[in-house]
Amino acid sequence: MPDFGKPIAGFGVMLGGMFREPITEQYPEEKAPVAPRYHGRHQLNRYDDGLEKCIGCELCAWACPADAIFVEGAPNTDEERYSPGERYGRVYQINYLRCIGCGLCIEACPTRALTMTNEYELADDNRADLIYEKDRLLAPPPPGAEPTPQHKPARAVDYYLAQAGRAGEGDVPGRAGEGDVPGRAREGAEESSETPR
């Protein structure tokens, strides 16, 4: 004799769900709140006087297991002071195509210059726009802070070729030579054809 208990129990679950309040979230029109300690997009913080906390030490880049951060430090001068220390981060890039959101860069930062916000909408239809430069990462100056010098763009760099700050002024941005790509032989360099026996 067939067992009709299981299909009837299944219909009971379906009928019970038909009369419940729907739990569908109408994203992106209605955005659900995230947890207070959610790790989203990074932010470079400032002191209360408007100076940057980043000192260009590159510890965040060293701690990143996905090699998603590139930092190039430069010395402060009396004419142009960006941070209270001797150095500041002249170039700061985070590649969100590589970032895994682990937060190890946050733990490595000695000045708490780098933190993570609750912003989670990082999708884009252009890969180049997912490499965030300093202008998109730096927090706005706090209200009442004295104006700080404006950053001059380091130059349009090709992150994938690791060419930040290396090319001369006359070079075409983003058109670095293949010889500078890590893992490839430089053009004109002679490779030894001898193999160890």
Asked, for residue 1, whether it belongs to a domain, the answer is no
Asked, for residue 197, whether it belongs to a domain, the answer is no
Please tell me whether 57 is known to bind a ligand: yes
Please tell me whether 105 is known to bind a ligand: yes
> What is the reported pTM?
0.66
| Per-residue confidence (pLDDT) for residue 179, from 0 to 100 | 38
| Per-residue confidence (pLDDT) for residue 78, from 0 to 100 | 87
Identify the domain containing residue 120 by its residue range.
Answer: 35-140
Please tell me whether 19 is known to bind a ligand: no
Dihedral over Cα of 42, 47, 52, 57: its sign: negative
| Per-residue confidence (pLDDT) for residue 66, from 0 to 100 | 95
Give me 139's structure tokens. Answer: 């927090």
Asked, for residue 11, whether it belongs to a domain, the answer is no
Asked, for residue 146, whether it belongs to a domain, the answer is no
Q: What is the CATH number of the domain that holds 136?
A: 3.30.70.3270
What total number of domains does the chain contain? 1
Please tell me whether 99 is known to bind a ligand: yes
Element of type H or E holding 8: helix 5-18
| Per-residue confidence (pLDDT) for residue 185, from 0 to 100 | 38
| Per-residue confidence (pLDDT) for residue 163, from 0 to 100 | 53
Per-residue burial over 132-148, b if 16 or more Cβ lie within 10 Å, else e, is bbbeebbeebeeeeeeb
| Per-residue confidence (pLDDT) for residue 14, from 0 to 100 | 83
Asked, for residue 177, whether it belongs to a domain, the answer is no
Please tell me whether 102 is known to bind a ligand: yes
Mean pLDDT by 10 residues, the chain (197 residues): 72 82 82 88 93 94 95 90 91 94 94 94 91 92 77 51 45 38 38 45
Asked, for residue 132, whether it belongs to a domain, the answer is yes
